[in-house]
Structure 1
Amino acid sequence: MFSKKEKVSEEQGEDTFPPQYDGALDADQGIIVCPPHTTERRLVTKIDLHVIPFLCIMYLLAFLDRVNIANANVFGLSKELNIVEKNKYNTALVIFFVPYILFEIPSNILLKKFKPRIWLACCMFAFGLITCLQGLVQSYSGLLATRFFLGLAETGMFPGAFYLIGMWYRRHEAQRRYTFFFSSTTLAGAFGGLLASAIGKMDGMRGYRGWRWIFILEGTLTCIVSIFFFFLLPNFPEEVAWLTEEERTFVKARLEQDQGKSARERPIKARDVGNVFKDLKIIVGGFMYFGLIVPAYGYAYFSPGILQGYGYSPIQTQLHSVPPWAAAFGFAMVIAWLSDKFRHRFLFAIIPICVCISGFAILITVHDHRSVQYGALFLVAMGAYSAMPVIVCWFNMNLGGHHRRAVGTAWQVGFGNIGGIIAVYAFLVKDAPRYIPGYSICLAFVCLSALSCLIYFLMCMWENKSRDRNVRNVGLTEYEKTELGDMSPDYRYQL
């Protein structure tokens, strides 16, 4: 955002600072100075250890509790509850998204009002308990009820965590952290397959079928972890006790220099929400994510069924679901590292999108070669789950201040998850085992995401050039610039 800081960083190196320390931003020189007892790199590592691991575990468990119904279905959920016909299983999946979409923005407002540690831990305990109850349902209506409340409890997890990460890191540091966090979904997919293959062997124990044990044990694990996380999850930089006063001041200053002031102290009002949506880039950001949610949820919910259609047994199906998720994690981390290294987002979103497109193209055209079809699933998982964190990081780190980031993050995730509804009804029982309509729908939405990324890139580039051409000192006070966030004439978007 501020060229003086970038010049200093390039000449001196990230850990080189003037010897004096005033604990704040030197406005005249454009330099921030680290506390004398540490270096910036050590401080960022300290933040990493207190923020990222806990959020990753939290979201791993959230995603696991969300999609383990696919593993449970392989072990006979639909048959026992008599929901094989008329796409009842698809309806049970889609009802999750109704509260999940509607309450994204209110949840992020509550996250800011309460401490993130309290809000996220309570939500975590709630969806763990509901997952346990899902393993005890005796009817289709009971399954629908638990899926609805599961969506309500999970609504704050993903946007809340992304919002929180964005308030801790500078923009060129964020992609690896965002991707590592987002890759909790791929780890959950791999872990879920392994865990389900083991839990499935408990079929009949204490009178419960194997699919019930998947919900009961995984939900119980979430509840137990949430109790510890009530004390371990991070808050905003201004509120944590594990940083010294000097460190908090420095962290706040380095973030202000990169992103502008956060306006943490002012509550979000209805007017703030309305002002955010006056920016067309916000709308486009929602479509960037929306296009990839369709293939992502299509894969997460239906890959076990697709694999089973290749002739694998239930246990083999669960085990064969693990390698594509593992490959997606590795590819996502490589893309994230390169994106941060070159401080660029657009191309590193488009490249994995092209990988995803090639995977669906193979699945649409190849139907009688199991190895090739299995390899195409790798491409789909690697492409979709590597592009999504880049898109979310790119969009969120281009939002300045608490207000625009809280609302914008929730909007992108909430609107994007409408794609989950489309994904659920794209893969119908009557289309098995080839699922040509489902693959075609996913391919179309991936192309929509690519187009939206291009439009967003051009809009940000035009804004930057427009601000460079105009006089920067337009007489705005610091308060007015803070209220504007990334709409301030001093702000420059990352491309």
Structure 2
Amino acid sequence: MSEAKLEALATVGTSEKASTVSVTSRRSYNGDELSEIQQDLAQKHGVKQRKLEWKIDICVVPALVLLYFAAFLDRINISNARLYGMEEDLGLHGNQFNVALTVFFVPYIVFELVANYLAKLFKPHWCFSVSMFMFGCSTIGCGFVKSFGGLITVRVFLGVAESATFGLIFYILSSYYTPRQAQRRFSCFFSSVTLAGAAGGSIARQIYTGIGNKHLANWRWIFIIEGAATVFIAFLLFFITPDFPETAKFLKPNEKAFLKEKLQLYSRVESGFEVKFNWRDYLPLFKEPIFYANALAYLGLLVPSYGYAYFATSIIKLLGYTAVSAQQHSVYPWLAAFGYINIVAYLSDRLQNRWCFSVSSSIIGIAGLAMVLGSSAPHVRYGGCFVASLGLYGATPVVVCWTSINLGGHLRKSFGTAFQVGLGNIGGIIATFLFLQKDEPKYTSGLSVSIGFVGLSIISQLFIVFYCSFMNKKKMTLTYIERFEELPIEDRVLKGDLNPNFKYLL
């Protein structure tokens, strides 16, 4: 066995050694070396790598895709209900519809970090199932509201319930996959958003044409049917949603040991699952600029993304389509985005690069928004919807995956994923007041501000590139290494990606 392989196996062999920093362990391994080391680890633990990889993919990704498919569908179905007369039936006027959208995000932002912390105390499958049951019931409640006040109440409960989904999903995914595997899985999950957007319009159209009930309006049936399906799925996911790798029931003891050492081989740091931490350990992390850059990169994409999700059908309808036809035409840009997301994911993993794909996709998003903004021709504006959805929904999973895999250890993963999703979802609040009825049909201000926010995201992404490059060089200096070695072992584990062994991916 080569010296490099012996060194790597020794480093990942025990938690104490994995936490110990040395100049020699800082070296990087090429793809062939990593493959050889993995093969030795697999032989050591009696694991068939390909079989285990498929097992993890089947047990982790589909359950999370199903969970967020239902969550996102319940989140955006209010835009479909709007087309079928919800505003008129509830007597909404002025900006009350936008307020109803906004109140969802306030508890969603506040409880995101709490949800990730609770997932460490209670197992994630409990958090996911309870959350899903709650937002399914809240969605059903939307179908029976009689006033603006009732709508606000159920939307607040929906925001509280959904706070335990998105950030925790990223936390889970980044705990199972190496940087070389992650983007395809993140994008596979995130593409459920585009499928939910496409399905939302299609389901709403089927409900409109297939249900005739004089006692309940068709828009109410959208909430009732989709909410009931979510409640059913909540019970199913209790049994199939994965926990963290260290406690996952679908993994055998030897598979857990292999996966732990394999992930340490790539990250060069301990996961820190066994190390206990409390909410006070989060406080110093608020001072680190990288977490704010991650959140701003995400926020800048969410403003136009939510604007598109909530108002695309209304924009398409204003191009001359009927409500039913607008629902049908809104499906196609979502489907195009689904294909683009997965192509970008494959190339990103293949080339081991994130920032080039996130920045280029963001620029495509700007081009699409500019087409909708700058043209009066219906077909050009509709084409802009395609281009915008490709760019916006193509860039977002790359940004999220990139920042998640650059977080090492459970403490920093827990905080970083929740902080990015929580603070980033302020973009949802902004988006709900950008596309107002008074601005129809051009939505000039909303589209202009959306372009500006994508520009903010690009600037934040470039800052992340600069910061990660700077930290990679800084962590190689003797001064940094000596200061890190002076810390107690437990503190070194909690430092995660600040360990000199950890190299940030660009």
Q: Is this contact kept in 1: 2:45–2:257, CA < 8 A? A: no
Give me the whole-angstrom Cα distance separating, in 2, the residues matched to 1:40 and 1:468. 32
- Map 1:397-436 to 2 at 5 A: 397-436=405-444
Structure 1 equivalent of residue 501 of structure 2: 490
* CA displacement, residues 260-309 of structure 1 (integer Å, 9 cap, x when unaligned): 21221233323311122222111111111010110010000000111111
Q: Which amino acid aligns with 2:313?
A: P
1:68-100 Cα shifts (integer Å, max 9, x gaps): 0001111111011111x2111111111101100
| Pair 1:10 & 2:26 matched | no
Is 1:236 aligned to 2:244, yes or no?
yes
Indicate which of 298, 303, 306 corresponds to 2:315. 306
User: Aligned letter for 1:219?
Assistant: G
The structure 2 residue matched to 1:98, chosen from 106, 122, 126, is 106
Q: Report the alpha carbon displacement of residue 488 of structure 1 after superposing the two structures with TM.
A: 1.2
SS of residue in 1 equivalent to 2:319: coil
Q: 2:189 maps to which residue?
A: 181
RMSD: 1.7
Please say if 1:393 is aligned against 2:401.
Answer: yes
1:330-369 → structure 2 map (5 Å cutoff): 330-367=339-376, 369=377
- Please name the residue that 2:59 is paired with: 50
The answer as to whether partners of 2:410 and 2:494 remain within 8 angstroms in 1 is no
Cα offset, 1:469, TM superposition: 3.9
Closer, same or farther in 2 for the Cα pair 1:311/1:394, shift >3 Å? Answer: same
Q: Compared with structure 1, are the counterparts of its residues 174 and 96 closer, same or farther at alpha carbon in structure 2 (3 Å cutoff)?
A: same
1:246 matched residue in structure 2 = 254
User: Given residue 479 of structure 1, which amino acid in structure 2 is its aligned partner?
Assistant: E
2-side partners of 1:330 and 1:491: how far apart?
33
- Do the aligned partners of 1:65 and 1:219 also contact (CA within 8 Å) in 2? yes
1:27 equivalent in structure 2: none
Q: 1 CA distance for matches of 2:106 and 2:131?
A: 17
Residue identity matched to 1:217: I
Shift of 1:14: 6.7
2:4 equivalent in structure 1: none
Asked if the contact 1:67/1:300 (under 8 Å) is kept, the reply is: yes
1:254 CA drift (Å): 1.0
User: For 1:438-457, what aligned pairs fall within 5 Å after superposition?
Assistant: 438-457=446-465
Letter paired with 2:410: H
Q: 1:156 to 1:339 in 2, by over 3 A?
A: same
Structure 1 unaligned spans of 5+ = 19-31
Gaps of 5+ in 2: 1-7, 9-24
Aligned length: 479
Aligned to 1:479: 490
Which residue of structure 1 aligns with residue 80 of structure 2?
Answer: 71
Name 2:19's counterpart in structure 1: none
2:200 is matched with: 192
> Are the structure 2 counterparts of residues 405 and 137 from structure 1 closer, same or farther at C-alpha, using a change threshold of 3 Å?
same
Cα offset, 1:5, TM superposition = 7.1
Partner of 2:133: 125
Contact kept? 1:14, 1:41, Cα under 8 Å: no
Residues 471 and 244 of structure 1, relative CA distance in 2, 3 Å threshold = same
Partner amino acid, structure 2, of 1:468: M
Using the aligned pairs only, state the percent identity: 40
TM-score (norm 1): 0.93
SS in 1 for 2:39: coil
Contact 1:203 1:209 in 2 (8 A): no
Alignment match, 2:386: 378
Structure 1 residue 468: Cα displacement? 2.7
| Correspondence for 1:327 | 336
1:201–1:210 CA contact under 8 A, matched in 2:
no
Q: What is aligned with 2:15?
A: none
Q: Mark the CA change 1:232 to 1:16 in structure 2 (over 3 Å): closer, same or farther.
A: closer
Q: Secondary structure at the match of 2:505?
A: coil
Residues in 2 aligned to 1:409 and 1:317: alpha-carbon distance in whole angstroms: 35
What's the secondary structure of 1:266's corresponding residue?
A: coil
Residue-by-residue CA offset, 1:105-130 (whole Å, 9 max, x unaligned): 00110111110011101100110011
In 2: Cα distance, 1:347 partner to 1:245 partner:
39
TM-score (norm: length of structure 2)? 0.91
Residue of structure 2 in register with 1:28 after alignment: none
Contact (CA 8 Å) 1:116, 1:235: kept in 2 or not?
yes
Partner residue of 2:306 out of 282, 291, 297? 297
* Match in the other structure for 1:22: none
Aligned to 2:162: 154
Superimposed CA distance per residue, residues 296-338 of structure 1 (whole angstroms, 9 cap, x where no aligned partner): 1000000011111111111111110111001111111111111
- Write the distance in 1 (CA, Å) between the matches of 2:135 and 2:315: 27
Equivalent residues of 2:45, 2:255 under 8 A apart: no
Provide the C-alpha distance between the structure 2 equivalents of 1:408 and 1:34, rounded to a whole number of angstroms.
34
SS at match of 1:213: helix
CA contact (8 A) 1:202 1:213 kept: no
Matched residue type, 2:366: I
Contact 2:275 2:490 in 1 (8 A): no
Partner in structure 2 of residue 23 of structure 1: none
1:258 maps to 2:246: no
Deviation at 1:345, TM superposition (A): 0.8
Deviation at 1:472, TM superposition (A): 7.4
CA distance in 1, matches of 2:425, 2:275: 29
